[in-house]
Structure 1
Amino acid sequence: MTQPTLEQFLADVKNHELTIHQNNGVYRHLTFATPNDCNQHFNITTFPDHLVITGDMGTLVFSRLHDMFNFFRSDDLRINPDYWAEKIESTSYEVAIDIYSEFDIDEVKTRAQEYLDDFIRDNELSDEDESALRFKLETSVLSAEYEHEIIDRIINFGCYGFDFEDFEWWDCRTHRYCYIWLCYAIVWGIKKFDELNKE
């Protein structure tokens, strides 16, 4: 799964301009958009203990401090997606996880291959058994194309004393592209707002 870099985000918003609809203490409503174009536009709205970001790349609601600009402010545009994800307001923990992350089948396949490599290195297998084990992994687990398919195959995998007994502890998720983009949008938007207010 790919994620936007800061450089990619900055290229996306290079022509965005800030429009301030409201600026009254922690009550703010800001829009960032390229004139006459709504592509990748976004709005940041704050009120006590909350920051809401909406627009083309999705909607997120965060809650942590009375003035959420103080929570997110970063002059060097550094983001902290894991910690910030804990501050997402949602109907449930499970829904929040799905908002900012998604199952990464490529990561699961990489981990499965590494897990098998470690097992083979730590155990004495004949060349025939090692080949058979690698072939079974390739044709079973590594050929899966969907989340539920690969999970089922990993849970039920067993060959020559090898299985994925600790699979339930694997972290098989990665941040969504839009979530990382929105994190950059928040810190960049706050910086633009601060620069304008200093003038």
Structure 2
Amino acid sequence: MTTPTLEQFLEDVKNHELTIVKNDGVFRHLKFSNPNDCNQYFNITTSPNYLVITGDMGSLVFSRLYDMFDFFRSDNLKINPDYWAEKIQSTSHEAQIASYSKFDLEQAKKNAQEDLNTYLGDNDDLSEEDRASLLEDFELEILRSEDEYEIVEAIRNFNFKGFEFDEFYWDGCRVYSYSYIWLCYAIVWGIKKFDKVHKKLKRKNKQKRRKNKQKRKAKAK
């Protein structure tokens, strides 16, 4: 499954409504859901230096600024998955990586193919027989791997007359998960929706205070 586009995300949340459970400075609890369907609901909770998003699409904890809305706010709903991933809080570095990415079998095969092509390009004196045998072994052992376990074992154990994938870049085999990108969009969209509602509430409260002030002045006369 490819990662969602902004347009796909907006389609998912087109009927979502905002419920402000708490709004006290940087202490916030916002709920976003379709009143008629709990599918893909989410909550955004903030406290000093932290933003937590939970719900149907997973959970993530971020930390960077005192008010995390200032960190994520984007009027044009632009996201920055690379940088934001660095701010995810988790129990370990491995758990952090697993929270936003997944192993991609096809990407691993592609990267292995690139390493093999580099080797073949640097060793043009390789006999036609050896070249054919190397390509056959690569096809059977690596390109036909059907899951992460198989291809990891195949790449780690591959050896053809001294050629090994001894400097294979495993991190390059991971791609952003669908849920991570979806949650990134949810954060910026949720903040924008909250800002709009919050601005209206502030305007109404200001008008209410002005009217109350005018009433007090009228009574004092």
Shorter-normalised TM range: over 0.9
- Deviation track 1:73-109 (CA, whole Å, cap 9, x = no partner) reads 1111111112111211212222111111111111110
Equivalence for 1:197: 198
Look up the match of 1:173: 174
Q: What is the letter of the counterpart of residue 69 of structure 2? A: F
Give the secondary structure class of the aligned counterpart of 1:40. strand
* Cross-structure match for 1:158: 159
Report the counterpart of residue 6 of structure 1 in structure 2: 6
Q: Provide the residue aligned with 1:36 in structure 2.
A: 36
How far the C-alpha of 1:61 sits from its partner, in A, is 1.1
Taking the aligned partners of 2:46 and 2:93, their CA distance within structure 1 comes to 23
Are 1:80 and 2:80 an aligned pair? yes
Residue type matched to 1:85 in 2?
Answer: A
Instruction: Please tell me the root mean square deviation across aligned C-alpha atoms, in Å.
Output: 1.5
- Report SS of the residue matched to 2:143: coil
1:144 and 2:145 correspond: yes
Partner deviation per Cα, 1:133-160 (whole Å, 9 max, x = no partner)? 1111010011112223211211111224
**Percent identity (aligned):** 63
1:169–1:42 CA distance, 2 compared to 1 (3 A): closer
Moved more, 157-166 or 1-10: 157-166
Q: What TM-score does the superposition give when structure 1 sets the normalisation length?
A: 0.93
1:19-78, CA deviations, whole angstroms, 9 ceiling, x for partnerless residues?
Answer: 111111101111111122111011111111111111100111111111010011111111
Q: By how many angstroms is 1:130 displaced?
A: 2.0
> For structure 1, which segment, 126-135 or 184-193, has the greater mean C-alpha deviation from structure 2 after superposition?
126-135
Provide the C-alpha distance between the structure 1 equivalents of 2:171 and 2:3, rounded to a whole number of angstroms: 20
Is the alpha carbon distance of 1:156 and 1:88 closer, same or farther for their aligned partners in structure 2, counting shifts above 3 Å?
A: same
Computing the radius of gyration over CA atoms, which structure comes out larger, 1 or 2?
Answer: 2
Q: Which has the higher helix share?
A: 2
Q: Residues 183 and 111 from structure 1, CA distance in 2 versus in 1: closer, same or farther, beyond 3 angstroms?
A: same
Superposed displacement of residue 170, structure 1: 4.9
Q: Please report how far the alpha carbon of residue 164 of structure 1 lies from its aligned counterpart in structure 2 after TM superposition.
A: 1.1
**In structure 2, distance between residues paired with 1:74 and 1:162:** 48
**Distance in 2 (alpha carbons) for counterparts of 1:72 and 1:175:** 18
Q: TM-score, normalised by structure 2?
A: 0.85
In 1, Cα distance between the equivalents of 2:190 and 2:29? 11
Correspondence for 1:61? 61
Structure-2 separation of matches of 1:89 and 1:162: 39
Indicate the residue corresponding to 1:71 in structure 2.
71
Q: Give secondary structure in 2 for the equivalent of 1:75.
A: coil
Instruction: Output the CA distance in 2 between the equivalents of 1:79 and 1:3.
Output: 13
Q: Bigger CA drift: 13-22 or 125-134?
A: 125-134
Helix, strand or coil at the partner of 1:20: strand
Cα distance in 2, alignment partners of residues 85 and 191 from structure 1: 21
| Paired residues, number | 199
Please list, as runs of the form range in 1=range in 2, the aligned pairs for 1:16-27 lying within 5 A after superposition.
Answer: 16-27=16-27
CA spacing shift, 1:24–1:80, aligned 2, 3 Å = same
